[in-house]
Structure 1
Amino acid sequence: MRRRAIPLLVAAVALAAAALTAPAATADEGAAPAATATDAAAPAAGADDRHRPRLYTPAANPEAYSQALDLARAGLYRDAAGILAMVRTPQAVWFGDQSPAEVEREARQVVRDAAGATVVFSLYNVPGRDCSGYSGGGANTTAEYQAWIDAVARGIGRSEAIVILETDSLALIPSDCGQDDAQGTKTAARYAEVNYAIDRLEPLKGTKVYLDTGHAAWHGPASITPRLVKGGIAKATGFFTNVSNYQTDSANSWFGKLVSACVAYVGEGGDAAQCPHQSWPREQADAWIAANVRTPSYQWKHFVTDSSRNGQGPWVPPPGKYTDPQDWCNPPNRGLGARPTLNTGDPLHDARLWIKISGESDGLCLRGTPGPEDPERGMVDPKAGDWFREQALELVRLANPPILPGS
């Protein structure tokens, strides 16, 4: 954004704040100035917070500031303040298309800017990522990926970091999307690549690595657990779920517990096919775990969840309307979810995070139609990763809990 726009933006913020009955963002909501942010579960004002864990807030997409400025100019001060509060909330830093030299330099700069706060790095560069779909790309070879991971590790160094290791890398392996040969060469390479990343990153002094499970409406524990085992879950801190998706906090926590229990059960020599599914009645699943999993729960693998866009839960497409509803792709009328925190109250649930960058598009959503417009929105959606003004405004207005006081 041009420098001359900064004073105008400051004025817009001031006008927005004046239009509200309370500040646009508070420490309790996980918001803070651009460099770092306090944890969402902050103690009362005035408490000694010198040793309280903090999550890093990266610089926002410049288009977010442009949108906030345009909203303020139009007199929509609350909406402008909402957009600013959204991007001033701790979120992940995504790396994926940089060269090794670039990613090392950028990672080192991020941890320097974080000044001791925990940075959430979302690494997204595995070969064949996203089945070469909307977010396709990644390294060309395993050797190229390993060199890239080495560079990330050098950039992070001894800093405090949570690593979200390759969204869709295990929930969507090459054999799932017809990219593999009869010998499963690419799938075997995927497991080797994920294992290499764990071996390189998890030993770093302040780094915790979490592996992919998709989300609670996709795989069950019986199907994702063998993939986690092959991916090296035994060497990682744990796993993540719901990145870029919309499952509720309750569904995510329940799914996380079941996967964690299933990993422990398989580690004891059990068969993952016997593990409870998230659709089981909870009493029945809990009884099965109590009867079959011998490993005490404090030794189970931990997990983190993404609550960036789950405030209204998943979108249910109109029955029979689309041949491919793409319920994950820019669904309408979703809202921001609960603020990020490192204190979830669940000993297995290490953090609730905003991993997906709220306000950035999932891609061109056609829902089985010829297009080019998204039939649910009557417009052509921005390409994956571009700022999506209409969706950003929905996320702010429908946030649950509200992103602004008094909403």
Structure 2
Amino acid sequence: MRRRAIPLIAAAVALVAAALSAPAATADDAPAPVAPAVSDGGPDDRHRPRLYTPAANPDAYTQAFDLVRAGQYRDAAGILAMARTPQAVWFGDQSPAEVEREARQVVRDAEGDTVVFSLYNVPGRDCSGYSGGGANTTAEYKAWVDAVARGIGRSEAIVILETDSLALIPSDCGQDDAQGTKTAARYAEVNYAIDQLEPLRGTRVYLDTGHPGWHGPDSITPRLLKGGIAKATGFFTNVSNYNTDPANSWYGKLVSACIAYAGEGGDTRQCPHQSWPRAQADEWIAANVRTPSSGWKHFVTDSSRNGQGPWVPPPGKYTDPQDWCNPPNRGLGARPTLRTGDPLQDARLWIKIPGESDGLCLRGTPGPEDPERGMVDPKAGDWFREQALELVRLANPPILPGS
């Protein structure tokens, strides 16, 4: 859970607010009003569900404080507005007792708003890469999930169940034996989590599909089926990635259609790929999927950093460009909402915490610096000031009024 505010952070917020209310010396330096925290509902929407805004990374407030002291009022306001936007609460690595206590505190703080929980503790997560870790055994993971379920209780919650758990299974990264023991355990772990969380009164569980630049519906759907998608509300896409909202929505529709087709006995290898012309894909779906779209699985997407779309690395410059890893010149995406206008898309969310680093990006070079940035990137999960400023300045739509 995000760390609680400390006196320095409170002072930073007060100082930023004072600076924003002061007269501006010039038009270029004039501080803009801080955008209100996005709650997905206003005074006229009191009876509609709203998204919870958790306590932000304290380093965001420290950065805003430093920007005010430097006279960069608009940048400070942008960082503060970003921090005050509804985002996911990430759980991973806590003990069962800790995660139960912290989950219970979050839902108490939410006071009925919908909390987005991102669970990230499956054994062997991230193929032991930058965000490696997780529970040591399946038994440990089950005990941890049980504790999360007790903490959530009967509250309103969206559960993002284990990013990369299905798009990146142990057999993909050479960590499994010839019998596929670890991969089979992964599917069992995901199924167990669904069984414990989906039946909770206010909880909806979504499974991993990676993103549109990774798997096609033909390859991810069999993994979703083994992972227990039939028992879950749906799936998620683009967590910690940069694909555009249109690309994510189209991918979501294709995956949902492929799941329905497989449920009718169809061969998932025949499902349309996101690279197909849309008219051709729609024609295939109309001709082959008998289940009405009202019976298809739903999905949610991550728009926290996709305002400028994916980064295209310079051709031939890197042996491993790591286009997902702290790419330069990206921006915040559209604000979170539970009302997308798409009957299949339950929400657009900020799941990855914008401003937190993806890890030490070397792009196939010896390092230690990220060659695209000329600096050593912070380790995964640490606050990345330079990237945070990029996200605010290049936000699309703008994070501040008048931008």
Aligned pairs for 1:52-201 (under 5 A) are 52-201=48-197
1:48, 1:344 → 2: CA distance? 18
1:25 to 31, 35, 47: 35
Q: 1:7 Cα shift?
A: 3.1
> 1:322-361 counterparts in 2 under 5 A?
322-361=318-357
Please, which moves more after superposition, 57-66 or 153-162?
57-66
Find the aligned partners of 1:53 and 1:261 in 2 and give their Cα distance. Answer: 27
Partner letter of residue 23 of structure 1?
P
Offset of residue 50 of structure 1: 1.9
Q: 2:39 aligns to what?
A: 38
Q: Aligned equivalents of 1:142 and 1:263: distance in 2?
A: 27
Residues 1:240 and 2:241 are matched in the alignment: no
Give CA deviations for 1:35-62 in whole Å, capped at 9, x if unaligned.
xx521xx46xxx5322021101111111
Structure 1 residue 283 and structure 2 residue 240: aligned? no
Deviations 1:263-311 (A, max 9, x none): 0000000000000000000000000000000000000000000000000
CA contact (8 A) 1:21 1:405 kept: no
Structure 2 CA distance, aligned partners of 1:145 and 1:95?
A: 12
Q: Residue 204 of structure 1 aligns with which residue?
A: 200
User: How much does 1:320 deviate?
Assistant: 0.2
Q: CA RMSD in A?
A: 1.2
Matched AA of 1:7 = A
Q: Which whole-Å CA distance do the structure 2 matches of 1:280 and 1:6 have between them? A: 51
**CA distance in structure 1 between the aligned counterparts of 2:9 and 2:380, rounded to whole angstroms:** 26
Q: Compute the displacement of 1:12 (Å).
A: 1.8
Question: Aligned residue for 1:34?
Answer: none
Contact 1:21 1:406 in 2 (8 A): no
For residues 202 and 250 of structure 1, the distance between their equivalents in structure 2, rounded to whole angstroms, comes to 28
Distance in 1, matches of 2:21 and 2:245, equals 30
For residues 186-244 of structure 1, the C-alpha deviation after alignment (integer angstroms, 9 at most, x for no partner) is 00000000000000000000000000000000000000000000000000000000000
Q: Would you identify which runs of 4 or more consecutive aligned residues in structure 1 move more than 6 Å? A: none
Is the contact between residue 71 and residue 79 of structure 1 (CA under 8 Å) also seen in structure 2? yes
For residues 9 and 117 of structure 1, the distance between their equivalents in structure 2, rounded to whole angstroms, comes to 24
Secondary structure (helix, strand or coil) at the match of 1:38 reads: coil
Match of 2:20 in 1: 16
* 1:224 aligned residue: 220
Counterpart-to-counterpart distance in 1, 2:321 and 2:341: 36
Q: Percent identity?
A: 86
Deviation at 1:22, TM superposition (A): 5.8
Q: Deviations over 1:317-376 (max 9, x none)?
A: 000000000000000000000000000000000000000000000000000000000000
Alignment TM-score, normalising by the size of structure 2:
0.96
What is the one-letter code of the residue matched to 2:14? V
CA displacement, residues 154-211 of structure 1 (integer Å, 9 cap, x when unaligned)? 0000000000000000000000000000000000000000000000000000000000
Q: Which letter maps to 2:120?
A: Y
- Which residue of structure 2 lines up, in the alignment, with residue 7 of structure 1? 11
The separation in 2 between residues aligned to 1:399 and 1:384, in whole angstroms, is 22
2:251 corresponds to: 255
Cα distance in 2 for residues equivalent to 1:17 and 1:243: 36
Deviation at 1:378, TM superposition (A): 0.2
Question: 1:362 aligns to what?
Answer: 358
Partners of 1:17 and 1:121 in 2: CA distance: 35
Q: Give the partner amino acid of 2:87.
A: Q
Partner residue in 2 for 1:316: 312
C-alpha distance 272-55 of structure 1, shift in aligned 2 (>3 A): same
Is contact 1:17-1:81 (8 Å) kept? no
Shift in Å, 1:4: 5.1
Q: 1:15: Cα distance to partner?
A: 1.1
Gaps of 5+ in 1: 32-36
Residue type matched to 1:13 in 2? A
Determine the C-alpha separation between the residues in 1 that align with 2:8 and 2:187: 49
**Aligned ranges 1:262-273 → 2 under 5 Å:** 262-273=258-269
Kindly tell me the number of residue pairs found equivalent between the two proteins. 393
The amino acid of 1:76's aligned partner reads Q
Q: In structure 2, how many angstroms separate the alpha carbons of the residues matched to 1:22 and 1:3?
A: 25
- CA distance, structure 2, for counterparts of residue 74 and residue 107 of structure 1: 37
- Secondary structure of the 2:287 match is helix
- Structure 2 residue runs of 5 or longer lacking an equivalent are 25-29
Q: What code does the residue aligned with 1:3 have?
A: P
More moved, 307-316 vs 53-62: 53-62
Report deviation, 1:21.
7.6
Letter in structure 1 aligned against 2:159: V
Distance 2:282 2:312 in 1: 28
Taking a change above 3 Å as real, the CA distance of residues 5 and 167 of structure 1, as seen in their structure-2 partners, is closer
CA distance in 2, matches of 1:25, 1:52: 21
- CA separation in 1, counterparts of 2:255 and 2:98? 36
Q: 2:27 corresponds to which residue?
A: none
Match of 2:299? 303
Q: Decide whether aligned partners of structure 1 residues 297 and 340 sit closer, same or farther in structure 2, where only a CA change above 3 A counts.
A: same
